[in-house]
A and B are shown apart, each in its own frame.
Chain A
Amino acid sequence: MFHALVAVKQVPDTTNIRIDPDTGNLVREGVPAIMNPYDAHALAEAVRWKRALGGKVTVVSMGPASFTKTIREAVELGADRGVLVSDRKFAGADTLSTSYVLAETIKVIHEEDPIDLIFFGKQAIDGDTAQVGPGVGVRLDLPVVTYAVKIRELDLEGRRVVVERKTERWTEVIEVPLPALLTCDKEIAEIPFAPLPDLIRSLRYEPEMWTMKEGPVAFDPAEVGVKGSPTVVYKMGTPPLPEAGEKVNTRDVGVEAAVKDALEKADAAGVLGAVLAQGPAAKEAQL
């Protein structure tokens, strides 16, 4: 029997973020909260293997009670059990502290029901740090494979998994012993359109809620929340607006003249001459 654990995060949909022009603050009103898309793909892969091998998928998330929505969504996508680790004291946690809370939680789940494979998304779209997954791997002393795009082989008997991970240069095929931790890119699996019975089950599902006081994990208060976080925000701001250059309408001056003018300006800025002089060599100079 296969036991997969998937860590999920609920995030504001960053495609819809807006900044208050007066205060420079993030306006969260009306911004939908969604399951981090990379996590959803990772979950889909975990569920796929569960269905192939038999077993179960446990989902863990750290966050406020509103994250129940995302745990339910995980159940809709095929998770069997959902644990939400939630406490006011966790607020303000940076990646180091978050990886502590998740690692401690996963240890407890593992003791009661040994885990074969842990799945993370490659990063969360709100923070984009890509650190919590590897951090949990280090804390649990597990092999970590980041940017996983495919699980080639999952051998429960032989206690090994063969994973394809994509880097800027190539795709690496890597074998690691189980249990292991993967952080997954979207290509790992398509998110299925859940059958109606699964959706209905998820709507009725109540996640387990573990806090500092209630629940089976003994968290060290010095490691959680702001106290357990080495980094702090110094300031927040909005990116400066670049200055716009000249705009020429080709209808007014003619295409030839407009292009000529543009190239002359590029030349004057010193970019064109360098480029033309280098010619084809420029390409080889690149990696």
Chain B
Amino acid sequence: MTARRFWVFIEQEEGNVHPVSWELLGVARYLASQVKEEADAAGDEVLVEGVLLGHDVASIAQDALHYGADRVYLFDDPLFAHYRNCPYYKTLAQVAKKYNPEVFLVGATTLGRDLAGGIATALRTGLTADCTQLEMGEAKGAKQKLLLATRPAFGGNILATIMCRKHRPQMSSVRPRVFPMPPFDPDAQGEIVREPMDVTEEGAMSCILEFVHEKGENVNIEYADVIVAGGRGLGTPEGFDLLKELADELGGVVGASRPCIDAGWLSYPHQVGQSGRTVRPKLYIAAGISGALQHKVGMQNSDFIIAINTDPNAPIFDVADVGLVGDLYQVIPAMIEQIKARKEALA
């Protein structure tokens, strides 16, 4: 009996887990289920496993079990207190060599993208970056199902599905927020395996001198439940004040399309779209955004989209659940009032 292992890199910094890690455990479970039948027939075991590096992060390993991992390989050492490219990729490549996973998923965050290429090169295997769809599927000439990793390319204009026939693991980095969060199972059981480490500080080849936190608000638009986004139709940068008011009422954040960022109306972390952030809020309100393709690919997975534009032909309406043709300077204030009224009614 051999084990078919589906691996997920659990990304954490300063004890905070990046939610994409849990999303990936969910995906890994889904992929594992797709080969279940095949594995049962061959008498193989299918396992979803997490790999975690850090310092004093045992509780995170425990969380990983709750989010669906059967086992977590844990490297707990001060050397891993802060993410650094070299010690991380070398350690992960080594442990992958030891256990030979079939699939290895990493979040396509800045950290994950920094890391994934290193692991793949060290293992001399294939890596598909920035995926938005994953399936285990049959491919001609392959005895077992292969990972079919789909990613947007050429500015989101095409979707390419990539597979890796012979080399293992089949690696993918996966965008945050394209897959749903799996449920937290408080009764989940699993195993935490502490792995010995083989990297020294001398071999780390780097030294972090300091962390500079950005001044001003810390925008985390990717995980906001509500985004009120503005576009060129606002006319002036002050238009965002109004959007902010609505966002505050809804407990959300303000986003923007690229032209506004380019014009310096809002800072880059607010940008939604292909060249900015991919978001998947519960509610996305697009005000004065025309809806260029590059914007749409970043927000069309939102649960509910309300678009406001004076131009009835604006392409944003193609992805909106409700389109309001009209002046946002009339619509947004009305919305603020009605939200206030609804909240009062709730209270």
Contact = CB atoms under 8 A, between A and B. Distances in A.
B89 A138 contact: yes
Contacts of B206: 143, 145, 174-176
B98 interface: no
Which of A15, A126, A229, A234 neighbours the largest number of chain B CB atoms within 10 Å of its CB? Answer: A234
A197 interface: no
Interface size class of A (residues with CB under 8 A): 35 or more
A287 B223 contact: yes
Given A232-B162, A236-B158, A146 B85 contact: yes
Contact of B117 (A26, A134, A283): A134
Interface in B53-87: 84-86
B182 interface: no
Contacts of B126: 94, 96, 229-231
A164 B223 CA distance: 26
Contacts of A275: 225-226, 250-252, 282-283
A256 B331 CA distance: 8
B211 A236 contact: no
A111 interface: no
Interface in B84-140: 84-86, 89, 109-111, 113-114, 116-118, 120-122, 124-130, 139
B304 A171 contact: no
Given A134-B117, A275-B225, A248 B323 contact: yes
Interface string A234-259: 11111101101111111100011011
A282 interface: yes
A208 to B, nearest CB: 26
Contact of A12 (B154, B312, B330): B154
A93 B114 CA distance: 21
Contact of B251 (A230, A233, A255, A278): A278
B102 to A, nearest CB: 14
Interface stretch (A52-60, A71-79, A263-271): A263-271
A128 B212 contact: no
Given A17-B157, A234-B139, A249 B325 contact: yes
Interface in A272-287: 272, 274-283, 286-287
Contacts of A261: 322
Which of B114, B166, B211 neighbours the largest number of chain A CB atoms within 10 Å of its CB? Answer: B114
Nearest to A228: B124
A265 B324 CA distance: 12
A144 interface: yes
B117 A246 contact: no
B346 interface: yes
A147 B114 contact: yes
A171 B323 contact: no
B111 A286 contact: no
Nearest to B119: A138
B322 to A, nearest CB: 4
Interface string A92-107: 0011100100000000
A249 B326 contact: yes
Contacts of B278: none
A256 B337 CA distance: 10
A162 interface: yes
A24 to B, nearest CB: 8
Contacts of B193: none
B283 A271 contact: yes
Interface stretch (B31-39, B259-267, B313-321): B313-321
B159 interface: yes
B296 to A, nearest CB: 8
A232 B148 CA distance: 10
B56 to A, nearest CB: 19
B297 interface: yes
A258 B206 CA distance: 58
B191 interface: no
Interface string B191-227: 0000000000000011111111110000010011110
Contacts of A24: 158
Contacts of B327: 250
Contacts of A248: 322-325
Contact of A236 (B16, B159, B207): B159
Contacts of B252: 275, 282
B319 A26 contact: no
A248 B334 CA distance: 15
Given A95-B127, A255-B326, A279-B251, A236 B154 contact: no
Nearest to A258: B324
A172 B124 contact: no
A27 B116 CA distance: 31
A15 B181 CA distance: 32
A194 interface: no
Contact of A244 (B130, B167, B226, B320): B320
A262 B326 contact: no
B334 A259 contact: yes
A47 B51 CA distance: 41
B188 interface: no
B157 A26 contact: yes
A174 B121 contact: no
A167 B152 CA distance: 22
Contact of B109 (A164, A168, A235, A277): A168
Contacts of B127: 95-96, 129, 131, 231
13 contacts: A96-B125, A138-B117, A138-B122, A146-B110, A173-B211, A176-B207, A241-B318, A244-B323, A247-B324, A258-B326, A263-B342, A265-B321, A266-B283
The 3 closest A-B CB pairs, nearest first, are A250-B326, A230-B126, A14-B155
Interface of A: 12, 14-15, 17-19, 24, 26, 94-96, 99, 125-135, 137-139, 142-147, 162, 164, 166-177, 229-239, 241-242, 244-251, 255-256, 258-263, 265-266, 269, 271-272, 274-283, 286-287
